[in-house]
């Protein structure tokens, strides 16, 4: 893994200062502390901060092709690179390194942007074609690795993180009110927006092509939930699923450094760890989070799984005070407001992984999206069942079974009907599955100082594929979950940003595109059978993990909120400071009186509702984003990169 950045002069060869590229690298040093590299000519500057995982000695970037006409900086991994390399060598290409980055370069020589369809990996790419004077910026199918850009004064400026872009003269951070509204609806800005006005991301499964002042952004992949024609048996589907997941896990062990695994205590990470531990001769180190707050702790299940697999297990013990202490750093790395404290323990976990000398971990993210594991999918199914008999007294009672940890659902029929009955019979609405969630979250809008611009529909309506209306209700729900939540929030704020904060690469077997496409075509009941989620995975888990693990009801990963910022461990100074009436009025994003009432309630130790807790985190993190990026951007320290810096200076040649 790495951090990449650069500047393209779009219409005239003005050169790119080396000092500016060095600043961009320094802003990304946490992503790649091992080696640094620059490429410069009169038109473009490319920069790389490398975390060396494959070809430790020979893979330093930037990397050029045989005649020096193409140059690449690359963030990520291509897991099928050995197979692609053999094909390219057979076509006559010669390689100067053993790394996967060079494979991308030669594949581009063969296929141009279509080469992206051959890559099985997680990546962000910047590839400069000096002869065509074109720059390709590309991102992996699921958006595992980030890539942002902006245009300013005839320049295209890009980077793995916004903080690299903000090092450039004349580029400032200003929070976009519409993006903030999206955060307070979907939990994150919706692609291609970032939280900052004028700074966009390359969407998942897309590439940007810039050439002589013209820029186009094109899709090369999107999720598809059109089901297979009937014919396969359940056993045949299961065998194919097991084979694909096993191979996805196998190729994600390709590295020249040790590979560890996260254990959450749930079925997803447990199956991945079991596939590694039971089918490999290499001892496995596993890592997990334990909470001091028993309401969030799953450590007994984590320890049970580690014991069953015989792994070397490391545990991070996380208190309310620990979360509060690192929350400003967490916000610095997310670069966007968030509505949960859940990223903070992940930040602490990756720090522990780094301290133990690991650069790579396998995780279980993605299983809930591709195999319908979330409660929102079950909720949608119950609502559709109820909608067929809206006057039924019995059907709404299924919600009490679904949400057994919410006592009001078992005893209050009026509450069940009022909450889950919103838009009950509007089953043709494209957002039927997510409407209640989004309407519920938009209650936080009452704290916003500005009037909502687009309502809760903004961000996804224009991106529905033509085939959407022909998919099953479950397929439609899975698609919305992927595009609105998986990449924008889960793989970013809880994934890439928290692991790469400590130079740790997360790898996700369930997000192998072959497996994603396979599960998209599955019959619904092989994913969600009745109200039993991830049916195929549970069947596989029976052969790999203890019964108390695979039989567990899914428990969402969360971290404490009210007691973190207003609890007995002591309240951090920055909380009172940033949530004060004066500070809230000064930034202007929220209504000071409404925030004051919320803070007073939190300090009184009264129970906060889920929406009120999310509002606390959202308001506080927005105030932090304002302090860290809008008013006081951290300038990377001046540092000597020379011992590990590779410079390719083609300025004279390119100008000629």
The answer to whether the beta carbons of residues 32 and 45 sit under 8 Å apart is no
- Whether the CB-CB separation of 309 and 592 falls below 8 Å is answered with no
Q: How many CB atoms lie within 10 A of CB 131?
A: 8
CA 103 vs. chain centroid, Å, equals 25
Range list of β-strands (E), 134-257: 134-139, 148-152, 155-159, 200-201, 206-211, 214-219
Tokens, residue 292: 């001091």
CA 230 to chain centroid: 34
CA 169, 161, 27, 120 dihedral sign is negative
Classify residue 546 by burial, with Cβ atoms within 10 Å: 0-12, 13-18, 19+.
middle
- Alpha carbons 545 and 534: distance in angstroms, whole number: 15
For residues 144 and 130, the answer to whether their CB atoms sit within 8 Å is: no
Residues 6+ apart with CB under 8 A from 94: 66
Residues whose CB is less than 8 angstroms from the CB of residue 542 and which lie 6 or more positions away in sequence, other chains included: 550
Residue 44 half-sphere exposure toward CB, CA atoms < 13 A: 32
Residues 62 and 46 sit within 8 Å (Cβ to Cβ): yes
In contact, 519 and 371? CB cutoff 8 Å: yes
Report in angstroms the alpha-carbon separations of 637 from 34, 161, 171, 500, 642.
17, 17, 18, 19, 15
Spatial contact of 3 and 48, defined as CB atoms under 8 Å apart: yes
The pair of structure tokens assigned to 152 is 């300013």
394 contact partners, CB below 8 Å, separation of at least 6: none
- What is the SS3 string spanning 103-130? HHHHHHHHHHHHHHHHCCEEEEEEEEEC
500: left (phi over 0), alpha (psi -120 to 50) or beta: alpha
Q: What is the three-state SS of 38-81?
A: EEECCCEEEEEEECCCCCCCCCCCCEECCCCCEEEEEEEEECCH
| C-beta of residue 123 within 8 angstroms of C-beta of residue 138 | yes
Residue 2 among the catalytic residues:
yes
Catalytic residues: 2
């Amino acid at each position: 893994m790495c951090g990449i950045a650069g500047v393209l002069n779009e219409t005239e060869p003005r050169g790119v200062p080396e000092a500016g590229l060095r600043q961009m690298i320094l802003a990304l040093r946490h992503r790649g502390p091992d080696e640094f590299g620059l490429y410069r000519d009169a038109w473009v500057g490319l920069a790389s901060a490398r975390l060396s995982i494959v070809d430790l000695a020979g893979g330093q970037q930037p990397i050029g092709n045989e005649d020096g006409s193409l140059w690449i900086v690359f963030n990520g991994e291509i897991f099928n690179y050995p197979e692609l390399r053999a094909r390219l060598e057979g076509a006559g290409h010669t390689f100067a390194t053993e790394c996967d980055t060079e494979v991308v370069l030669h594949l581009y020589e063969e296929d141009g942007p279509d080469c992206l369809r051959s890559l099985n990996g997680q990546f962000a790419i910047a590839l400069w074609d000096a002869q065509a004077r074109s720059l390709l910026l590309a991102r992996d199918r699921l958006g595992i690795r980030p890539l942002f850009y902006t245009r300013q004064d005839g320049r295209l400026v890009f980077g793995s993180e916004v903080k690299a872009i903000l090092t450039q003269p004349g580029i400032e951070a200003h929070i976009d009110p519409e993006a903030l509204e999206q955060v307070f609806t979907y939990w994150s800005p919706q692609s291609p927006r970032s939280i900052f006005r004028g700074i966009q991301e390359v969407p998942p499964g897309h590439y940007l092509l810039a050439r002589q002042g013209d820029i186009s952004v094109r899709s090369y992949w999107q999720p598809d939930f059109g089901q297979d024609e009937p014919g396969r048996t359940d056993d045949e589907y299961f065998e194919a699923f097991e084979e694909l997941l096993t191979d996805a896990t196998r190729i994600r062990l390709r590295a020249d450094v040790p590979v560890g695994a996260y254990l959450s205590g749930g079925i997803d990470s447990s199956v991945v760890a079991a596939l590694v531990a039971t089918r490999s001769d290499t001892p496995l180190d596993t890592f997990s989070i334990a909470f001091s707050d028993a309401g969030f702790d799953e450590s007994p299940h984590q320890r049970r799984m580690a014991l069953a697999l015989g792994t070397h297990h490391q545990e991070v013990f996380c208190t309310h005070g620990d979360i509060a202490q690192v929350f400003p750093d967490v916000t610095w790395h997310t670069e966007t407001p968030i509505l949960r404290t859940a990223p903070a323990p992940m930040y602490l976990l990756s720090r522990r992984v780094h301290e133990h000398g690991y650069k790579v971990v396998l995780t279980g993210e993605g299983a809930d999206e591709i195999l319908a594991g979330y409660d929102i999918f079950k909720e949608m199914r119950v609502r559709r069942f109820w909608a067929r008999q809206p006057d039924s007294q019995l059907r709404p009672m299924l919600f009490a079974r679904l949400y057994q940890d919410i006592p009001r659902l078992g005893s209050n029929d009026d509450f069940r009907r009022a909450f889950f009955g919103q838009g009950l019979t509007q089953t043709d609405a494209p957002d039927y599955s997510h409407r209640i969630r989004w309407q519920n979250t938009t209650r936080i809008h009452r704290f916003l100082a500005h009037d909502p611009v687009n309502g809760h529909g903004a961000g996804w309506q224009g991106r529905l594929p033509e085939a959407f209306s022909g998919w099953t209700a479950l397929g439609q729900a899975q698609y919305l979950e992927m595009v609105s939540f998986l990449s924008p929030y889960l793989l970013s704020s809880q994934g890439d940003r928290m692991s790469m904060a400590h130079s740790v690469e997360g790898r996700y077997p369930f997000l192998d595109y072959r497996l994603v496409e396979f599960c998209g075509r599955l019959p619904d009941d092989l994913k969600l059978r009745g109200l039993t989620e991830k049916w195929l995975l549970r069947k596989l888990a029976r052969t790999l993990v203890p019964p108390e693990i695979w039989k567990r009801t899914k428990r969402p990963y969360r971290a404490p909120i009210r007691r973190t910022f207003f609890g007995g461990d002591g309240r951090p100074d920055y909380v009172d400071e940033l949530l004060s009436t004066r500070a809230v009025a000064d930034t202007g994003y929220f209504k000071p009186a409404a925030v004051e009432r919320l803070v007073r309630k939190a300090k009184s130790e009264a129970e906060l509702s889920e929406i009120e807790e999310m509002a606390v985190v959202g308001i506080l993190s927005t105030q932090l984003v304002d302090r860290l990026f809008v008013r006081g951007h951290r300038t990377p320290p001046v540092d000597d990169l020379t011992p590990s810096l590779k410079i390719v200076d083609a300025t004279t040649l390119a100008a000629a």
